[in-house]
Amino acid sequence: MIITLKDGSKMQLEGAMTALEVAKHISEGLARAALVAKADGKFVSMNEVIDGDCTFEVFTFKDEEGRLAYRHTCSHILAQAVKNIYPTVQLAIGPAVKDGFYYDFEFKTPITQADFDKIEAEMKSIIKADMPIVRSTMSRKDAEKLIKKMKQSYKMELLADIPEGEEISFYTQGDFTDLCAGPHLASTGKVKCFKLTSLTGAYWRGNEKNKMLTRIYGTAFDKKSDMDEYLQKLEEAKKRDHNKLGRELGIFMTDENIGQGLPLIMPKGARIIQIMQRFVEDEEQRRGYLLTKTPIMSKNNLFITSGHWDHYKDKMFYIGEEDVDDEILCLRPMTCPFQFTIYKNGLKSYRDLPIRYAETAIEFRKEASGEMHGLTRIRQFTLADGHIVCTPEQLESEFAGAVDLIKFMLKTFDLEGDVTYRFSRWDPKNADKYVGSAADWERSEGAMKTILEDLGIEYTEAWGEAAFYGPKLDVQGTNVHGKEDTLFTVQLDFALAERFDMMYIDENGEKARPLIIHRSSIGCYERTLAMLIEKYNGAFPMWLAPEQVRVLSLTDRTADNAKKVASELTAAGLRAEADVRSEKLGKKIREAQLEKVPYVLVIGDKEAEDGVVAVRHRSEGDLGTMTVAEFIAKAAEEVASKLRK
């Protein structure tokens, strides 16, 4: 048989052989490191047989594909260990994720992290046994019989989701079998080291109407030193968790009497968001956006027109019931229907287009209680929302302009290296979730793909993540725990202009439908703030810091001097406070450092006499003495530069 390698070279081999044996013909070293392979673009375990001509590629732990297979196998080892210890447990799903894996379980008796030791011990026994991992396929009827025999109800649901005609596969190791698409390692003994890291609740299928399951997270590496380094970084990252640090710094809080997903933004946090908002609104104005201010609620008629009532109702808060009340009022989940209504106030000419609307909008979404966390997923949030109405000829340039605005924001907030781009597409297997025909989606996704390629944006694709009215480019950020969230988005909309009967008069004097771009320049302010807290470890750059300068009196004799300097700094546009408490200077300095204040100015008798201040920076330390005017000039320059120190 002819084996074609990744570089295009070919090998002629005699007879059928396992993927591992093929790898040995390439290189003994490669075979020793091999974790999984691809034959004609299809993943195969290293113990699967190759029996004909094919393209062939091998993956090791250095490759993402190899790491995913390695960690996916760990999730199965975890499930087998848990099943051995808790025979009545129900198994749900267990994928590999970035830097690790998890498995969701339904326990009859809840477990805690105190149970991890015995679970890990059982996992180590399974690894030591070096059980072969064998893939098998079967008909749907036989698969149903097997799962019924296993008494695994969640697996029966997953089996029902597999489309007719698609291959149904299982993986078996010892006496443990799991419904799984794979791929996996050849045996359990290939896993070198792992660690269970956390335990959380997770709704089945992410739906709060379903049962809450127990999710066990873990990580796995091929070298213990790499895993130890990762775990150390994980511990450090936990200290940066915005949900912990944001509360410690007095940026936000929550209260059980107010409810989940409804954070109270405290004075420091409110000041940061105000600074961000002013910056964003000024930049949008410079780029030709028209500011709107629309209601936070409306009758549901508006959302029936937009399609949200049919496709998004479960995520909306509303007052009243259909067939009971004459009027149903909805808290808005987005601003687009309101801005489209403004567009319709008067007929537009092609000369009026593009029209760019922007609004700092308070919006509401009914997030599942198990999904909410800190500021990243909340029920009331503030969105830098915007919509561009344009002609087909203007679509690409306007989309590019929206992307350029996002990139400008990312650069300004020092987030350029912390995001990835995702092309979110529709799911043709679940067409009921969307408006429009398959031809509409093919046309709009094709247009977006062309635009993204013209802009040179590197992206991944995610099927089923599109908005119900069109595809989108999502800018993805990852928190300190490795969870990915959408920060900003740009969406193409081929449907809502028709639903709202939006028109313009074209060059030929004929009525025409405009195209719409939905975009968010800085996303949800609360979510972006959460990312910035973690990014900066609470030490916001000078221009964003809620308190930029703290003036300390050394003794009661210089208290008035400290107050006077703080007033001068405030008059110069700086955010300054005076600390004139009768406390030791060291304590006051430590408190300012813990609160991440960029600059501390100290005034003692000598400084007061000389008309100067002693300047201390939170990371650079003692900067010597300066006049107040000199310090104001230095601080103003740093604020204007927006550089992070």
Per-domain boundaries in the chain = 2-60, 65-240, 264-536, 549-641
* Higher-confidence position of 283 and 367: 283
**What integer is the mean pLDDT of 391-417?**
94
Q: Residue 115 has what pLDDT?
A: 95
SS3 assignment, position 627: coil
- CATH homologous superfamily for the domain 65-240: Threonyl-trna Synthetase; Chain A, domain 2 (3.30.980.10)
Question: Above 80 in pLDDT, residue 73?
Answer: yes
Q: Is residue 596 a contact partner of residue 538, using CB atoms and an 8 Å limit?
A: yes
Mean pLDDT of the region 474-503:
88
pLDDT digits (tens, 9 = 90+) for 341-354: 999 999 999 999 99
Task: Using pLDDT thresholds of 50, 70 and 90, give the confidence band for residue 335.
Answer: very high
Asked if the model's pLDDT at residue 645 lies above 80, the reply is no
Peptide bond just before 471 cis, omega within 30 deg: no
Which of 390, 474, 477 lies closest to 424, judged by CA? Answer: 474
pLDDT of 372 over the 90 cut: no
Rounded CA-CA distance 387/399 in Å is 11
Non-local (6+) Cβ contacts of 232 within 8 A are: none
pLDDT at 156 over 80: yes
Whether 264-536 and 549-641 share one fold: the answer is: no
* CATH class of this structure's domain 264-536: alpha beta
Average pLDDT along the chain: 93
Report how far residue 371's alpha carbon sits from residue 201's, in angstroms, rounded to the nearest whole number.
Answer: 9
**519/473 Cα distance (integer angstroms):** 9
pLDDT class for 6, splitting at 50, 70, 90?
confident
For the segment 190-200, the average pLDDT, to the nearest whole number, is 93
Per-residue confidence (pLDDT) for residue 92, from 0 to 100: 96
Mean pLDDT of 369-381: 88
Peptide bond into 183 cis (omega under 30): yes
In this predicted structure, what is the pLDDT of residue 7? Answer: 87
Using CA of residue 480, residue 103, residue 218, residue 48, what is the dihedral sign? Answer: negative
Dist CA 79 CA 76 (whole Å): 5
Confidence of residue 200 (pLDDT cuts 50, 70, 90): confident
pLDDT-derived band of residue 444, with 50, 70 and 90 as boundaries? confident
Share of the chain above pLDDT 70, in %: 100
DSSP codes, 568-614: HHHHTT--EEEE--SS-HHHHHHHHHHTT-SEEEEE-HHHHHHT-EE
For residue 631, how many other CB atoms are within 10 A of its CB? Answer: 23
- Please say if the pLDDT value at position 332 is more than 90: yes
The pLDDT tens digits for 41-50 are 899 999 999 9
At residue 205, the pLDDT reads 84
User: What is the per-residue pLDDT for 175?
Assistant: 94
Most confident among 120-129, 194-203, 463-472 (mean pLDDT): 120-129
pLDDT at residue 428 tops 90: no
CB 351 within 8 A of CB 375: no
Per-residue confidence at 406, pLDDT binned at 50, 70, 90? very high
- CA dist., res. 386 & res. 166, Å (int): 42
Amino acid 14 reads: E
User: Band of the pLDDT at 494, cuts 50, 70, 90?
Assistant: confident
Q: Is the model's pLDDT at 442 over the cut of 90?
A: no
Across 548-559, average pLDDT: 96
At residue 448, does pLDDT exceed 80? Answer: yes
The pLDDT tens digits for 598-625 are 999 999 999 999 999 999 999 999 999 9
pLDDT at 467: 82
- Place domain 2-60 in its CATH homologous superfamily: Beta-grasp domain (3.10.20.30)
Smallest CA-to-CA distance from 116 within 232, 231, 194 is with: 194
Q: Cβ(104)–Cβ(92) under 8 Å?
A: yes
Beta bridge partners of 552: 579, 602
Q: How far apart are CA 246 and CA 217, in angstroms?
A: 24
Length of the chain: 645
Kindly report the three-state secondary structure assignment for every residue of 93-140: CCCEECCEEEEEEECCCCCCHHHHHHHHHHHHHHHHCCCEEEEEECCH
Spatial separation of the C-alpha atoms in residues 267 and 265, rounded to whole Å: 7
pLDDT band for 430, please (50, 70, 90 cuts): confident
| Mean pLDDT to the nearest integer, 440-452 | 88
Q: What is the pLDDT of residue 235?
A: 87
CB-CB contact of 186 with 66 (8 Å): no
Radius of gyration from C-alpha coordinates of the chain: 29
DSSP string of 430-499, one letter each residue: GGGGSSS-HHHHHHHHHHHHHHHHHHT---EEEET-SBTTB-EEEEEEE-TTS-EEEEEEEEEESSHHHH
Question: 89: which 2 tokens?
Answer: 């447990």
- Note the pLDDT of residue 439: 85
**Assigned superfamily of 549-641:** Anticodon-binding domain (3.40.50.800)
CA distances from 227 to 36, 96, 185, 223, 231 (A): 21, 16, 19, 6, 6
196 touches 120 (CB < 8 A): yes
Is the pLDDT assigned to residue 208 strictly greater than 80?
no
What does the CA dihedral 391, 393, 398, 404 come to, rounded to 10 degrees?
170
The average pLDDT across 275-292 equals 97
Neighbours of 482 (CB within 10 A): 14
Q: State mean pLDDT over 247-255.
A: 96
